[in-house]
Amino acid sequence: MAVTNQPRSYAPSEFQTGLCDFCDDCGTCCYGLWCYVCLGCTIASDMNECCMCGLSSSIRSVYRTKYNIRGSLCNDFMTYMCCPVCATCQLKRDIDRRKEQGIF
């Protein structure tokens, strides 16, 4: 089987929105507040992962690693422990923006 796509390398970056940038995408914010579990499943689906993985700090770590976003496992864990809805909404906003940019 021939390799048709080369792996991409990204310069170290940050998430494209802040943790509490709710007004950047009110739809995602409302989705996270009223149907948090569904939002987690949507994220997992976007990343081709099991639905059970969508609401864990590990999916954030996988995403950060894939797109070379600065951070650490400890930071991911603490972000999800302190504000899981904010962290989940931030991840979904970033996924949506990367889809719009054609880099997801």
Distances (CA, A) of 94 to 5, 43, 56, 72: 23, 11, 16, 17
Cα 83 to chain centroid distance, Å, stands at 14
- Higher per-residue confidence, 70 vs 54: 70
Predicted pLDDT of residue 12:
74
- Determine the average pLDDT of the residues in 83-100: 96
Predicted pLDDT of residue 102:
93
Residue 22 banded pLDDT, cuts 50, 70, 90? confident
Q: What would the pLDDT profile of 26-53 be if each residue is shown by its tens digit?
A: 999 999 999 999 999 999 999 999 988 8
Does the pLDDT at position 1 exceed 70?
no
